[in-house]
Amino acid sequence: MLFSVLVLCFLFSLYFILLKVIYYRYSQTSWSKHFLELNIRKCGRSRICQNTARNDMYPWQSEHKNTSNEVRALLVTAHPDDECMFFAPTILRLLQLNASVHLLCLSSGNYYKQGAHRQRELRDSCAVLGIPASQVTIIDCKELPDDPNVEWNIHVISSLVLKQIQASSINMVLTFDGRGVSGHGNHIAIYRSLSYLASTGEIPDGCCVLSLQTVNVIRKYLSVLELPVSWLCGSDVSFLIGSEGYRQAKRAMFCHRSQLLWFRHLYMLLSRYMLINTFQVISREEKDWEMY
């Protein structure tokens, strides 16, 4: 019995040491920048500068290396609060890398007839995260209701996303994957739309499309303890924030007062998505969509 306890203590100690080493390594070497470079390679970009300077790792900066905000990222979400529940590490790290972050929210969150109030909450949340109000677009149309039982039309979503890409000269789009993190049908519809656009070649050249990886429920609620698992499993792009970023993400969550039921407090405490985001590239070969 004593031997078993000692073995367990030893294994837990090793795990926490591994956790600390991984966290320190990537916090010191800008984990997201490292994986963004790999992502751009996967997207088929021909010029990758190996210089570690921030402005030299992006091929689209080759002619204007000294200008700021040349990484123009568009986050496509389904509802107000998606941005901080699932994508806060991504938003905060991109802004730290001097990227220009835009948000396209495809519904007003009017499932319980609170659409106007939830739009205000979303804008407050974005202000806390650091996204300017001028770069937040909220869609409120009958074709895209906030309802998990209604299938969103791929072509309506695709048209809205393409319009935003062109209007803001976007070169990186981020959204959910085919399981939608929480399995929500509206999340999955966005992925299918982006997959459709990628597979048909309608995404402009020079624009990468990334999907947030869904993990199983055990990994989902391990908080920072999940970090070694993400490191071992690998991804194309990863974003990690520390304690300061976590507090900022929580403040953004608290802006959504209408949604703060008791289980949301547990989510903030336990969810790895409050600290870690891992993405896969949506390639031009993917065809996870249907015509309807």
pLDDT digits over 93-123, tens only? 999 989 999 999 999 999 988 999 999 999 9
- How many other β-carbons are positioned within 10 Å of the β-carbon of residue 46? 7
d(C-alpha 186, C-alpha 192), whole Å: 10
Q: Which sequence spans correspond to the domains of the chain?
A: 69-281
Question: What is the C-alpha separation between 28 and 10, in angstroms, rounded?
Answer: 27
CA separation, residue 124 to residues 5, 204, 256 (Å): 49, 31, 8
Q: In this structure, what token pair is assigned to residue 42?
A: 């996967």
What is the tens place of the pLDDT at every residue in 253-290?
999 999 999 999 999 999 999 999 999 999 866 555 45
pLDDT band at residue 34 using 50, 70 and 90 as cut-offs: very low
Place of tokens 């074709």: 143
Mean pLDDT value across the chain: 83
Lowest mean pLDDT among 20-29, 55-64, 136-145, 274-283: 55-64
CA quadruple 119, 121, 122, 123: dihedral positive or negative?
positive
Q: Which region among 102-111, 212-221, 229-238, 272-281 has the lowest average model confidence (pLDDT)?
A: 229-238
* For residue 14, pLDDT beyond 70: no
Render the burial of 51-70: b for 16+ CB within 10 Å, e for the rest. Answer: eeebbebbbbbeeeeeeeeb
Distance CA 199, CA 209 (A): 11
Q: Tell me the whole-structure pTM to 2 decimals.
A: 0.82
Alpha carbon 145 to chain centroid distance? Answer: 22
Q: Is the pLDDT of residue 217 over 70?
A: yes
Q: For residue 56, what pLDDT band results from cuts at 50, 70 and 90?
A: very low
Superfamily of structural domain 69-281: LmbE-like (3.40.50.10320)
Strand pairing partners for 176?
Answer: 212
Q: What is the DSSP string of 37-94?
A: HHHHHHTT-S------SGGGS-GGGTT-TT-S---EEEEEESSTTHHHHTSHHHHHHH
